[in-house]
A and B are shown apart, each in its own frame.
Chain A
Amino acid sequence: MNDLPDEALLRLARCFDQTALAKVYDLYNNGIYYYAMRLLGDPSLAEDCAAETFSRLLRALRNGGGPTDNLKAYLYRSAHNWITDYYRQIPPLPLDPDCNLVQPDSDPCQLAEQNLIQERVHAAMRLLTPEQRQVIDLRFVEGWELDEIAICLLKPVGAVKALQHRAVAALQKMLLE
């Protein structure tokens, strides 16, 4: 079960094989949580996002829909849609300084400096468009390839490159100038 490719895992998940579903959850749940955490900056919201993403997967499979080949891209797209919907209802708030984005460190000076940098980066990320933010996160934090991001965003690779270029230029302007 551990070595099953996405397609085989999906076939089993479609038949509601509990082991396959647990495997899918274990494979991608943490990634989804941290992805949501970086974009939302709130652990409870990130938990909600991850839970809702997997719940949507179950509903989609029950209705005969869901992903056909790329499960990872499907799950991240679903999570991103949840985050976008959330921001549509509630505009993004400034980051809570007590949200402990950084693991408490022994050195308070270093911790303060890291918190400061993180706050700046998150503030700059929030000024990007949702798609630019998604590309930066998937490309530079999750380490995805451009074609994987293209599948996730349902866009051509060229469009993803353009989004990345514009996002990097915007971040450079906000953080370095």
Chain B
Amino acid sequence: MKSNPEVDPKLDAYIQALHRTAPRNPQLAARAREKFLAEAAQITYRAPSVSISMLSRLDKWMATLKSFRLVNQKERNPMFNLFITVLLVLGAVLGGGATTVAAAQTAQPDQTLYPVKTWSEDLRLGWETDPQAKFDLALKFTVRRAEEIKTMLAAGGIVPEPVLARFENQQQQELQMAAGMPDDLAKPAFEQVHNQSRQQVQVMQQLQLDNPACEQIRARVQTMLQVQVRASETGIENPDLLRDQLRLRDRDKIHQNTTGAETIDVETGTTANGNPWTTGTPTPGSGYGPGPGGSQNPWTDVTPTPGSGYGSGESQNPWTDETPVPGSGYGLGESQNPWTDETPVPGSGYGPGSGDCTSNCAPAPNSGNKP
């Protein structure tokens, strides 16, 4: 028995014990040999057939696969399993996700996949870098919203508030995008917005509605569309003016957000103070906004006449009936005239002076002036 230099001598002594095995029963061994040879004799040689047997084909396939070193290792690399797992998970997530997004494109606001649809729209807009393509996408998505609203109203359903809010936001977004373009591109873009909004107004008008709640929503959507039509008209005529208006509106919005004073009533779309202009510029004469508004003040250009009720209003002057006491701060106040007690010396520049009084006024006696 050969000793094993690779192992501890004490352990080797134990391993050597494995060599000691009881001898084989020669009769059993001889019987097994006979049996084997008899079995071998029964099998006649068959020349290999033209087409390989199924098992041989399987063996060949397995050999081919093993040549890729994918299945021949019983102890697989843990990284291999991890890699396959990650690959499968990614395939499932991306493949499944793409299918879901594709299926969601026809979803309506009352369906489960609708949030996926809006999310995918946001994602596409976010990824688009070309301004013209982005504007086209925004137009397309606004048309989609209008279609959704029309479909829901036609079916007698109530359009959820988030859908209306999103529609309004998308309208503003497309205006902003058009305004952000150079003038030569902005005008055609405003025209597109204008035409599209007008078409939508017509579509809304043609809807046959029975439900009063739907009527209200239609009226609100039409108002939104009309505001959009007017804004785009302004943009076509004078893009700079619209840009200024949009800038002012954004500034107001930022101010509103920072003060947080206004809360929008979801049902009526108005603020707590009754102002329905939560997003757009108020129309003239609506009573809201900085314009001349609904006050009856006619003194828009010149100073109001005293007693008209306009102007600076009541002062703190207590001298309403009598002449103010000198030095009270009211009245004519202190002038630079030194002749407060006596008659000013002629030619001093104070007093009635010579003037043109020669023809109409009679000189006082002893005044030194003779007619």
Contacts and interface: CB of A to CB of B under 8 A. Distances in A.
Interface in A1-48: 15-16, 18, 21-22, 25-26, 29-30, 33-34, 37-38, 43, 47
Contacts of A114: 17, 20
Interface stretch (B33-41, B165-173, B195-203): B33-41
A34 B45 CA distance: 31
A47 B48 CA distance: 32
Interface string A142-177: 010000000000111001000010001001100110
Interface string B69-93: 0001111000000000000000000
The interface size bin for chain A is 35 or more
A140 B3 CA distance: 8
Contacts, number: 125
Nearest to B44: A16
Contacts of B19: 141
Contacts of B56: 63-65
A117 B17 contact: yes
Contact of B32 (A51, A102, A120): A51
B226 to A, nearest CB: 78
B255 to A, nearest CB: 72
Contacts of A103: 20, 22-23
A71 interface: no
B43 A58 contact: yes
B21 interface: yes
B18 A121 contact: yes
B15 interface: yes
Nearest to B54: A63
A76 interface: no
Contact of A38 (B11, B21, B59): B21
A102 to B, nearest CB: 5
Contact of A18 (B17, B29, B37, B55): B37
Contacts of A102: 20-22
B15 A65 contact: no
B37 A25 contact: yes
A171 B4 contact: no
B7 A15 contact: no
A81 interface: no
Given A154-B74, A176-B10, A140 B20 contact: no
A62 B17 contact: no
A155 B44 contact: no
A65 B55 CA distance: 8
Contacts of B17: 114, 117-118, 121
A63 B55 contact: yes
A43 B21 CA distance: 10
Interface of B: 2, 4, 6-8, 10-12, 14-15, 17-25, 28-29, 32-33, 35-37, 39-41, 43-46, 48, 52-53, 55-56, 59, 72-75
Given A21-B40, A63-B55, A171-B14, 11 more contacts: A25-B36, A30-B29, A38-B18, A43-B22, A51-B35, A58-B43, A65-B55, A102-B22, A121-B15, A156-B73, A176-B11
26 contacts: A21-B40, A22-B33, A22-B40, A25-B33, A26-B33, A29-B33, A37-B21, A37-B24, A38-B21, A55-B39, A64-B53, A65-B59, A101-B20, A101-B21, A102-B22, A103-B23, A117-B14, A121-B15, A121-B17, A125-B18, A140-B7, A141-B18, A154-B72, A168-B6, A172-B7, A175-B11
